[in-house]
Amino acid sequence: MPRMIYDYTKSVLERVSFDPVLFCKELRKAIKNLLPYELEQLKKWLQNFTTEKPELQQYISIVN
């Protein structure tokens, strides 16, 4: 089940990436729901995902 939540979180973040404020809001929700090892995976994914979206890179620090 936790893997499904992680995959769902990535899906949501991809869909809302057009709006930095909404992206930040969804990222904060994800931090509350994911397990510590999933947060590490999410951080790595965010680093790759935001390379093409510099306006979102500032939110990677939220995951720490």
- pLDDT by residue (tens digit) across 5-54? 999 999 999 999 999 999 999 999 999 999 999 999 999 999 999 999 99
Please tell me whether residue 27 adopts helix, strand or coil conformation: helix
Joined tokens for residue 35: 């397990």
For the segment 50-60, the average pLDDT, to the nearest whole number, is 91
Rounded distance, CA 49 to CA 47, Å?
6
The pLDDT, as a whole number, for residue 42 is 95
